[in-house]
Amino acid sequence: MIRAGIIGGAGYTAGELLRLLLGHPHAEIAFVQSTSQAGLPVAEVHENLVGDTSLCFTDCADLESVDVLFLCMGHGRSRAFWEANEMPRGLRVIDLAQDFRDETCGYVYGLPEWQRERIRQARLVANPGCFATAIQLALLPLAAGRQLQSEVHITAITGSTGAGVKPGATTHFSWRTDNLSVYKPFEHQHLLEIGRNLGLLQGTQPTINFVPLRGDFARGILASVYTRTELHEDEARAIFCDFYHEASFTVVSQKPINLKQVVNTNKALLSVEVHRGYLHVVSCIDNLLKGASGQAVQNMNLLFGLDESCGLRLKGSGF
Protein backbone atom coordinates (compact mmCIF):
# COMPACT_ATOMS: atom_id res chain seq x y z
CA MET A 1 0.00 0.00 0.00
CA ILE A 2 1.12 3.56 -0.75
CA ARG A 3 1.18 5.56 2.48
CA ALA A 4 0.03 9.12 1.80
CA GLY A 5 0.20 12.28 3.86
CA ILE A 6 -1.67 15.53 3.27
CA ILE A 7 -0.49 18.99 4.30
CA GLY A 8 -3.25 21.60 4.43
CA GLY A 9 -6.17 19.23 4.81
CA ALA A 10 -9.13 21.53 5.46
CA GLY A 11 -9.82 22.96 1.99
CA TYR A 12 -11.89 21.80 -0.96
CA THR A 13 -9.04 20.16 -2.86
CA ALA A 14 -7.90 18.27 0.24
CA GLY A 15 -11.47 17.14 0.88
CA GLU A 16 -11.73 15.70 -2.62
CA LEU A 17 -8.27 14.16 -2.29
CA LEU A 18 -9.32 12.44 0.93
CA ARG A 19 -12.46 11.07 -0.74
CA LEU A 20 -10.40 9.64 -3.61
CA LEU A 21 -7.63 8.18 -1.45
CA LEU A 22 -10.13 6.53 0.93
CA GLY A 23 -11.53 4.64 -2.05
CA HIS A 24 -8.19 3.92 -3.72
CA PRO A 25 -7.31 0.20 -3.72
CA HIS A 26 -3.57 0.79 -3.36
CA ALA A 27 -3.37 3.77 -0.99
CA GLU A 28 -3.87 4.50 2.68
CA ILE A 29 -3.81 7.84 4.48
CA ALA A 30 -1.18 8.13 7.20
CA PHE A 31 -2.00 11.66 8.36
CA VAL A 32 -3.97 14.78 7.45
CA GLN A 33 -2.32 17.95 8.69
CA SER A 34 -4.24 21.17 9.33
CA THR A 35 -3.14 23.85 11.74
CA SER A 36 -6.59 25.44 11.86
CA GLN A 37 -8.49 22.17 12.46
CA ALA A 38 -5.95 20.19 14.50
CA GLY A 39 -7.58 17.66 16.82
CA LEU A 40 -10.94 17.66 15.05
CA PRO A 41 -12.26 14.57 13.26
CA VAL A 42 -11.79 14.90 9.51
CA ALA A 43 -15.47 14.08 8.93
CA GLU A 44 -16.54 17.11 11.01
CA VAL A 45 -14.94 19.41 8.44
CA HIS A 46 -15.48 17.29 5.31
CA GLU A 47 -19.02 16.21 6.15
CA ASN A 48 -19.41 14.05 3.03
CA LEU A 49 -16.90 11.65 4.66
CA VAL A 50 -19.10 10.87 7.68
CA GLY A 51 -18.97 7.11 8.18
CA ASP A 52 -16.00 6.74 5.83
CA THR A 53 -13.09 7.60 8.12
CA SER A 54 -12.15 8.00 11.77
CA LEU A 55 -9.06 10.09 10.96
CA CYS A 56 -8.44 13.30 12.91
CA PHE A 57 -6.51 16.34 11.78
CA THR A 58 -3.04 16.75 13.24
CA ASP A 59 -0.88 19.83 13.58
CA CYS A 60 2.31 17.88 12.93
CA ALA A 61 3.47 15.65 10.12
CA ASP A 62 5.88 12.72 10.21
CA LEU A 63 7.31 12.99 6.71
CA GLU A 64 9.42 9.88 7.23
CA SER A 65 6.27 7.77 7.65
CA VAL A 66 4.83 8.30 4.15
CA ASP A 67 5.68 7.38 0.58
CA VAL A 68 3.97 10.37 -1.01
CA LEU A 69 3.13 13.82 0.32
CA PHE A 70 0.36 15.99 -1.11
CA LEU A 71 0.72 19.73 -0.51
CA CYS A 72 -2.75 21.32 -0.52
CA MET A 73 -1.87 24.72 0.90
CA GLY A 74 -2.40 28.16 -0.57
CA HIS A 75 -0.20 29.48 -3.33
CA GLY A 76 3.21 30.55 -2.09
CA ARG A 77 3.14 28.36 1.01
CA SER A 78 4.76 25.25 -0.49
CA ARG A 79 8.14 26.95 -0.84
CA ALA A 80 7.85 28.18 2.74
CA PHE A 81 7.03 24.64 3.88
CA TRP A 82 10.24 23.26 2.39
CA GLU A 83 12.25 26.11 3.86
CA ALA A 84 11.00 25.01 7.29
CA ASN A 85 11.11 21.22 6.76
CA GLU A 86 13.67 18.77 5.43
CA MET A 87 12.49 16.53 2.61
CA PRO A 88 13.21 12.86 3.37
CA ARG A 89 15.29 11.02 0.83
CA GLY A 90 13.06 9.18 -1.63
CA LEU A 91 9.84 10.95 -0.64
CA ARG A 92 7.55 11.65 -3.60
CA VAL A 93 5.76 14.99 -3.52
CA ILE A 94 2.72 16.26 -5.42
CA ASP A 95 2.18 19.99 -4.96
CA LEU A 96 -1.28 21.33 -5.81
CA ALA A 97 -0.20 24.98 -5.51
CA GLN A 98 1.45 27.07 -8.22
CA ASP A 99 4.83 27.41 -6.49
CA PHE A 100 6.77 24.96 -8.69
CA ARG A 101 4.78 24.94 -11.93
CA ASP A 102 7.75 26.59 -13.63
CA GLU A 103 9.63 23.30 -12.96
CA THR A 104 12.13 24.86 -10.58
CA CYS A 105 13.71 22.86 -7.74
CA GLY A 106 13.45 19.59 -9.66
CA TYR A 107 9.66 19.53 -10.08
CA VAL A 108 8.03 18.14 -13.22
CA TYR A 109 4.87 19.79 -14.51
CA GLY A 110 2.16 17.22 -13.90
CA LEU A 111 -0.10 17.28 -16.96
CA PRO A 112 -0.16 13.58 -17.95
CA GLU A 113 -1.49 14.16 -21.45
CA TRP A 114 1.69 16.10 -22.18
CA GLN A 115 4.38 14.71 -19.85
CA ARG A 116 3.30 11.18 -18.93
CA GLU A 117 6.75 9.61 -19.31
CA ARG A 118 8.54 12.39 -17.44
CA ILE A 119 6.05 12.08 -14.58
CA ARG A 120 6.66 8.32 -14.38
CA GLN A 121 10.37 9.00 -13.85
CA ALA A 122 9.88 11.94 -11.48
CA ARG A 123 9.92 12.27 -7.71
CA LEU A 124 8.49 15.80 -7.45
CA VAL A 125 5.36 16.83 -9.38
CA ALA A 126 3.76 20.26 -9.71
CA ASN A 127 0.05 19.71 -10.29
CA PRO A 128 -1.38 22.08 -12.95
CA GLY A 129 -3.94 24.78 -12.24
CA CYS A 130 -7.60 24.17 -13.02
CA PHE A 131 -8.05 26.81 -15.76
CA ALA A 132 -4.61 25.85 -17.05
CA THR A 133 -5.63 22.21 -17.39
CA ALA A 134 -8.84 22.94 -19.30
CA ILE A 135 -7.16 25.47 -21.61
CA GLN A 136 -4.00 23.50 -22.30
CA LEU A 137 -5.96 20.37 -23.16
CA ALA A 138 -7.78 22.50 -25.75
CA LEU A 139 -4.50 23.74 -27.26
CA LEU A 140 -1.81 21.07 -26.77
CA PRO A 141 -2.52 19.21 -30.06
CA LEU A 142 -2.34 22.48 -31.98
CA ALA A 143 0.91 23.55 -30.32
CA ALA A 144 2.43 20.12 -30.96
CA GLY A 145 1.50 20.45 -34.65
CA ARG A 146 2.80 24.05 -34.88
CA GLN A 147 -0.75 25.18 -35.64
CA LEU A 148 -0.97 28.14 -33.20
CA GLN A 149 0.00 30.80 -35.73
CA SER A 150 -2.62 33.42 -34.78
CA GLU A 151 -3.88 34.94 -31.55
CA VAL A 152 -5.82 32.60 -29.29
CA HIS A 153 -9.02 33.90 -27.68
CA ILE A 154 -10.41 32.21 -24.58
CA THR A 155 -13.48 32.78 -22.46
CA ALA A 156 -13.83 30.33 -19.57
CA ILE A 157 -16.25 30.09 -16.69
CA THR A 158 -15.57 28.40 -13.35
CA GLY A 159 -17.63 27.34 -10.36
CA SER A 160 -17.40 28.94 -6.94
CA THR A 161 -15.22 26.17 -5.47
CA GLY A 162 -12.41 27.49 -7.66
CA ALA A 163 -12.08 30.38 -5.22
CA GLY A 164 -11.31 28.05 -2.31
CA VAL A 165 -13.06 27.31 0.96
CA LYS A 166 -12.33 30.65 2.67
CA PRO A 167 -15.43 32.89 2.36
CA GLY A 168 -15.19 36.10 0.36
CA ALA A 169 -17.45 38.78 -1.08
CA THR A 170 -17.66 37.09 -4.48
CA THR A 171 -18.29 33.60 -3.07
CA HIS A 172 -21.20 34.56 -0.82
CA PHE A 173 -24.36 32.76 -1.96
CA SER A 174 -26.51 35.88 -2.19
CA TRP A 175 -23.95 37.51 -4.52
CA ARG A 176 -22.96 34.50 -6.58
CA THR A 177 -26.34 32.93 -7.29
CA ASP A 178 -28.10 34.06 -10.52
CA ASN A 179 -25.02 36.12 -11.28
CA LEU A 180 -22.03 36.24 -13.65
CA SER A 181 -18.92 38.38 -13.49
CA VAL A 182 -15.55 38.83 -15.19
CA TYR A 183 -12.38 38.80 -13.11
CA LYS A 184 -8.67 39.16 -13.85
CA PRO A 185 -9.19 39.66 -17.61
CA PHE A 186 -5.97 39.19 -19.64
CA GLU A 187 -3.90 38.77 -16.44
CA HIS A 188 -5.03 35.57 -14.71
CA GLN A 189 -2.13 33.84 -12.96
CA HIS A 190 -2.61 30.60 -14.92
CA LEU A 191 -1.52 32.40 -18.09
CA LEU A 192 2.07 32.00 -16.91
CA GLU A 193 2.06 28.21 -17.04
CA ILE A 194 -0.15 28.09 -20.12
CA GLY A 195 2.12 30.40 -22.14
CA ARG A 196 5.30 28.76 -20.92
CA ASN A 197 4.22 25.22 -21.78
CA LEU A 198 2.62 25.96 -25.14
CA GLY A 199 5.70 27.96 -26.11
CA LEU A 200 7.96 25.05 -25.21
CA LEU A 201 5.85 22.63 -27.21
CA GLN A 202 5.42 24.81 -30.30
CA GLY A 203 8.83 26.45 -30.29
CA THR A 204 7.35 29.95 -30.54
CA GLN A 205 5.35 31.92 -28.01
CA PRO A 206 1.64 32.14 -28.88
CA THR A 207 -0.41 35.23 -28.04
CA ILE A 208 -3.17 34.19 -25.65
CA ASN A 209 -6.10 36.41 -24.67
CA PHE A 210 -7.94 34.97 -21.67
CA VAL A 211 -11.08 36.33 -20.02
CA PRO A 212 -12.18 34.28 -16.96
CA LEU A 213 -15.71 34.42 -15.56
CA ARG A 214 -17.21 33.46 -12.20
CA GLY A 215 -20.19 31.14 -12.61
CA ASP A 216 -23.23 30.74 -10.38
CA PHE A 217 -22.59 27.01 -9.82
CA ALA A 218 -20.31 25.15 -7.43
CA ARG A 219 -17.94 23.12 -9.57
CA GLY A 220 -16.74 22.72 -13.12
CA ILE A 221 -14.98 24.71 -15.86
CA LEU A 222 -16.13 25.27 -19.42
CA ALA A 223 -13.60 26.95 -21.71
CA SER A 224 -14.45 28.29 -25.16
CA VAL A 225 -11.24 28.62 -27.20
CA TYR A 226 -10.85 29.82 -30.78
CA THR A 227 -8.10 30.83 -33.19
CA ARG A 228 -7.71 31.26 -36.95
CA THR A 229 -6.92 28.12 -38.91
CA GLU A 230 -6.41 26.81 -42.42
CA LEU A 231 -7.46 23.32 -41.36
CA HIS A 232 -10.70 21.68 -42.39
CA GLU A 233 -12.84 20.37 -39.56
CA ASP A 234 -12.06 16.70 -40.22
CA GLU A 235 -8.33 17.51 -40.30
CA ALA A 236 -8.53 19.40 -37.01
CA ARG A 237 -10.52 16.68 -35.29
CA ALA A 238 -8.06 14.05 -36.53
CA ILE A 239 -5.17 16.01 -34.97
CA PHE A 240 -6.95 15.99 -31.61
CA CYS A 241 -7.98 12.34 -31.80
CA ASP A 242 -4.42 11.28 -32.68
CA PHE A 243 -2.91 13.36 -29.89
CA TYR A 244 -5.24 11.93 -27.22
CA HIS A 245 -5.65 8.38 -28.48
CA GLU A 246 -3.77 6.98 -25.45
CA ALA A 247 -5.17 9.43 -22.88
CA SER A 248 -6.99 7.77 -20.01
CA PHE A 249 -9.41 10.60 -19.34
CA THR A 250 -9.35 13.12 -22.20
CA VAL A 251 -12.01 12.39 -24.82
CA VAL A 252 -12.70 14.14 -28.12
CA SER A 253 -16.47 14.13 -28.52
CA GLN A 254 -18.20 13.93 -31.87
CA LYS A 255 -21.11 15.95 -30.44
CA PRO A 256 -21.46 19.26 -28.56
CA ILE A 257 -20.49 18.88 -24.91
CA ASN A 258 -21.76 20.28 -21.62
CA LEU A 259 -20.47 20.69 -18.10
CA LYS A 260 -22.65 18.05 -16.43
CA GLN A 261 -20.91 15.35 -18.43
CA VAL A 262 -17.69 15.86 -16.45
CA VAL A 263 -18.72 17.15 -13.00
CA ASN A 264 -17.72 14.66 -10.28
CA THR A 265 -15.37 12.85 -12.68
CA ASN A 266 -11.72 13.03 -13.70
CA LYS A 267 -12.68 13.32 -17.38
CA ALA A 268 -11.87 16.13 -19.77
CA LEU A 269 -14.21 16.43 -22.73
CA LEU A 270 -13.32 18.34 -25.90
CA SER A 271 -15.34 19.30 -28.94
CA VAL A 272 -13.62 20.52 -32.11
CA GLU A 273 -15.30 22.52 -34.89
CA VAL A 274 -14.25 24.87 -37.69
CA HIS A 275 -16.39 27.90 -38.57
CA ARG A 276 -15.47 30.37 -41.34
CA GLY A 277 -11.74 29.96 -40.87
CA TYR A 278 -11.83 29.76 -37.08
CA LEU A 279 -11.03 26.62 -35.12
CA HIS A 280 -13.31 26.46 -32.08
CA VAL A 281 -12.50 24.09 -29.21
CA VAL A 282 -14.73 23.66 -26.16
CA SER A 283 -13.11 22.06 -23.12
CA CYS A 284 -14.94 20.87 -19.99
CA ILE A 285 -13.47 19.58 -16.72
CA ASP A 286 -14.36 19.38 -13.04
CA ASN A 287 -12.12 22.01 -11.45
CA LEU A 288 -11.73 20.01 -8.22
CA LEU A 289 -10.97 16.69 -9.92
CA LYS A 290 -9.24 16.83 -13.31
CA GLY A 291 -8.40 20.42 -12.37
CA ALA A 292 -6.89 19.52 -8.99
CA SER A 293 -7.26 16.42 -6.77
CA GLY A 294 -8.22 13.86 -9.42
CA GLN A 295 -5.22 14.86 -11.49
CA ALA A 296 -3.07 14.66 -8.36
CA VAL A 297 -4.14 11.03 -7.83
CA GLN A 298 -3.59 10.39 -11.56
CA ASN A 299 -0.04 11.65 -11.06
CA MET A 300 0.39 9.49 -7.95
CA ASN A 301 -0.60 6.46 -9.99
CA LEU A 302 2.05 7.30 -12.57
CA LEU A 303 4.72 7.89 -9.92
CA PHE A 304 4.15 4.45 -8.42
CA GLY A 305 3.75 2.49 -11.65
CA LEU A 306 0.02 1.88 -11.27
CA ASP A 307 -2.62 1.99 -13.96
CA GLU A 308 -3.21 5.67 -14.59
CA SER A 309 -6.95 5.38 -13.97
CA CYS A 310 -6.70 3.42 -10.70
CA GLY A 311 -9.21 4.76 -8.18
CA LEU A 312 -10.48 7.36 -10.64
CA ARG A 313 -13.26 5.66 -12.61
CA LEU A 314 -15.89 8.07 -11.32
CA LYS A 315 -19.34 8.44 -12.83
CA GLY A 316 -20.84 11.86 -13.36
CA SER A 317 -24.41 12.46 -12.24
CA GLY A 318 -25.57 13.69 -15.68
CA PHE A 319 -28.68 15.29 -14.21
CB 130 within 8 A of CB 158: yes
Q: How many CB atoms lie within 10 A of CB 65?
A: 11
DSSP category for residue 254: S
Strands 152-158 vs 124-126: parallel, antiparallel or unpaired: unpaired
The distance in angstroms from the start CA to the end CA of the chain is 35
DSSP category for residue 40: S
Q: Which of 130, 241, 284, 310 is catalytic?
A: 130
φ, ψ at 53 (rounded to 5°): -155, 150
* Residue 130 among the catalytic residues: yes
201 CB-near residues (< 8 Å, 6+ apart): 114, 140, 143, 144
Active site amino acids: 130
